[in-house]
Amino acid sequence: MVTALFADKDGEIFDAPGYPAAGRIGDRLVPLLKKDLIPLPEGSELMLLPDRQAVYVDEQGKVMPLPDKVLAVAAMLPVGYTRTYLPAFFKEDDAPVLPLYGYTATALVNDAIYVAAVKSDDNEKWHPYHYNTKSLKDKVARIKREFSGNRLVKHLAHCSLTWHCCTAQNFFYHRWEAGIPTSPSCNAHCFGCISLQASECCPSPQSRIEFRPTAAEVAEIGLYHLASSHEPMISFGQGCEGEPALAYEVIASAITMIRQSTDQGVVNINTNGGFFEGIKAIVDAGLEHMRVSIISALEETYQAYYRSNYTLADVKKSIAYAKAHGVFVSLNMLSFPGLNDRQDEVMAWENFVRETKIDMIQLRNLNLDPDAFWNIMPKSAAPSLGVCNFIERLGRSDSHLVIGSFSHYVSKDE
* pLDDT tens by residue, 401-413: 999 999 888 766 6
Full domain range(s) for residue 323: 124-404
Question: Is 393 within the bounds of a domain?
Answer: yes
For 117-148, give the DSSP string: EEE-S--GGG-GGGSS-TTHHHHHHHHHHHTT
Question: Is 42 within the bounds of a domain?
Answer: yes
Question: Is 175 within the bounds of a domain?
Answer: yes
Question: Is 410 within the bounds of a domain?
Answer: no
Q: Do 106 and 132 fall within a single domain?
A: no
> 255 falls in which pLDDT band (50, 70, 90)?
very high
Q: Do 328 and 356 fall within a single domain?
A: yes
Confidence (pLDDT) at 128: 86
Confidence (pLDDT) at 383: 95
Bridge-partner residues for 361, per DSSP?
331, 403
Pairwise CA distance, residues 219 & 214, whole Å? 9
Confidence (pLDDT) at 193: 76
End-to-end CA distance of the chain, in Å? 49
Question: Is 315 within the bounds of a domain?
Answer: yes
Q: Do 151 and 195 fall within a single domain?
A: yes
Q: Do 247 and 101 fall within a single domain?
A: no
Question: Is 398 within the bounds of a domain?
Answer: yes
Instruction: Note whether 172 and 166 are within 8 A (CB).
Output: no
Pairwise CA distance, residues 117 & 342, whole Å? 17
* pLDDT tens by residue, 92-132: 999 999 999 999 999 999 999 999 999 999 888 998 899 99
Q: Do 82 and 95 fall within a single domain?
A: yes
Instruction: Note whether 20 and 3 are within 8 A (CB).
Output: yes
Q: Do 141 and 76 fall within a single domain?
A: no
pLDDT over 70 (residue 196): no
Q: Do 143 and 108 fall within a single domain?
A: no
pLDDT over 60 (residue 393): yes
Question: Rounded to an integer, what is the distance from CA 197 to the centroid of its chain?
Answer: 16
Per cent of the chain over pLDDT 90 is 87
Q: How distant, in Å, are the alpha carbons of 24, 45, 50, 74, 159 from that of 89?
A: 8, 18, 11, 10, 34
* pLDDT tens by residue, 153-186: 999 999 999 989 999 999 999 999 999 999 999 9
Domain final residue pick, 102, 119, 136: 119
Q: Do 245 and 225 fall within a single domain?
A: yes
Question: Is 340 within the bounds of a domain?
Answer: yes
Confidence (pLDDT) at 127: 86
User: Which amino acid belongs to residue 17?
Assistant: P
Q: Is 347 exposed, middle or buried (CB count within 10 Å of its CB: 0-12, 13-18, 19+)?
A: middle
Question: Rounded to an integer, what is the distance from CA 174 to the centroid of its chain?
Answer: 23
Domain final residue pick, 91, 119, 147: 119
Q: Do 113 and 131 fall within a single domain?
A: no
> 205 falls in which pLDDT band (50, 70, 90)?
low
* pLDDT tens by residue, 3-56: 999 999 899 999 999 999 999 999 999 999 999 999 999 989 999 999 999 999
Question: Is 47 within the bounds of a domain?
Answer: yes
Q: Do 114 and 132 fall within a single domain?
A: no
pLDDT over 60 (residue 200): no
How many structural domains comprise the chain? 2
Q: Do 345 and 273 fall within a single domain?
A: yes
Average pLDDT over the chain, rounded to an integer: 94
Domain final residue pick, 119, 140, 167: 119
Confidence (pLDDT) at 94: 92
Instruction: Tell me if residue 172 falls in helix, strand or coil.
Output: helix
Q: Do 76 and 157 fall within a single domain?
A: no
Per cent of the chain over pLDDT 70 is 96
* CATH number where 299 lies: 3.20.20.70
